[in-house]
């Protein structure tokens, strides 16, 4: 699949089935995604992969923090994909590359990974929310001081019965200007 096709056909997939990429394939795709622009080649990120019972452990963390009326809903959400890839931002402090630029590099890598997954027939959806601040999740995922949990990439195989439309190109003319050299 060429890059343009991947950009125009990738969608956030709400129904994700088995299989998901195994650890070896995920690692390979991550190596490719790590080629995204990254000033200083700091790679200010890391991933924690959750499958099977690991997802249950994360669901238990969330259930403990959710209100009584939301516990079963929170636990069910964790089961919506066979692989949950937790993205952790690990900025290099006291570096000439500012934190915001390191976050931009992390975002670029994550988007590249989503395109690569799509090109291999996998689907994904980015999930965030208040639970990225969960003290229990931070402990489970072994976050260190200064690290931030950015969210989860839910990964699996898209439901073959789902319909997917090619994106329509948007009008960007109001977001583009050029400067003329003034003499």
Is 123 in contact with 160 (CB distance < 8 Å)? no
Per-residue pLDDT, 74: 84
Cis peptide bond N-terminal to 7, omega within 30: no
Fold of 3-175: NADH Oxidase (3.40.109)
Angle CA(113)–CA(167)–CA(122) in degrees, nearest 5?
Answer: 35
Contacting residues for 79 by C-beta, under 8 A, at least 6 apart:
55, 59
Cα–Cα dist 156/177, whole Å: 40
DSSP character string of 4-63 = HHHHHH--B-S-EES----HHHHHHHHHHHTTS--GGG---EEEEEE-HHHHHHHHHHHH
Per-residue pLDDT, 163: 83
The pLDDT tens digits for 56-103 are 999 988 888 877 788 888 888 889 999 999 999 999 999 999 999 999
The pLDDT tens digits for 105-150 are 999 999 999 999 999 999 999 999 888 999 999 999 999 999 999 9
Cα–Cα dist 30/12, whole Å: 19
Per-residue pLDDT, 65: 82
Cα–Cα dist 3/39, whole Å: 23
For residues 20-32, average pLDDT: 98
Token readout for 57 is 């452990």
Q: Taking 70 as the threshold, does the pLDDT of residue 183 lie above it?
A: no
Q: For residue 105, give the H/E element and its range.
A: helix 99-119
Measured from the Cβ of residue 45, the count of other Cβ atoms closer than 10 Å reads 23
CA dihedral 122, 54, 143, 98 (to 10 degrees): 0
Higher pLDDT residue, 179 or 147?
147
* Domain ranges for the chain: 3-175
Q: Taking 80 as the threshold, does the pLDDT of residue 31 lie above it?
A: yes
The pLDDT tens digits for 147-170 are 999 999 999 999 999 888 888 999
Q: What is the mean pLDDT of the chain?
A: 94
């Amino acid at each position: 699949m060429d890059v343009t096709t991947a950009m125009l056909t990738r969608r956030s997939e709400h129904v994700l089935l088995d299989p998901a990429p195994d650890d070896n394939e995920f690692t390979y795709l991550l190596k490719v995604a790590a080629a995204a622009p990254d000033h200083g080649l700091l790679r200010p990120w890391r991933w924690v992969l959750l499958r099977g019972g690991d997802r249950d452990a994360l669901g238990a963390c969330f259930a403990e923090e959710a209100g009584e009326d939301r516990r079963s809903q929170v636990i069910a959400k964790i089961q919506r994909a066979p692989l949950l890839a937790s993205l952790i931002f690990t900025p290099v402090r006291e570096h000439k590359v500012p934190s915001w630029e390191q976050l931009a590099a992390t975002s670029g890598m994550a988007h590249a990974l989503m395109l690569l997954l799509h090109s291999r027939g996998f689907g994904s959806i980015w999930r965030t929310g208040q639970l990225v601040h969960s003290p229990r999740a931070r402990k489970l995922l072994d976050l260190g001081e200064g690290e931030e949990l950015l969210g989860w990439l839910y990964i699996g195989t898209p439901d073959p019965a789902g319909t997917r439309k090619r994106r329509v190109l948007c009008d960007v003319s109001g977001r583009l200007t050029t400067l003329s050299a003034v003499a």
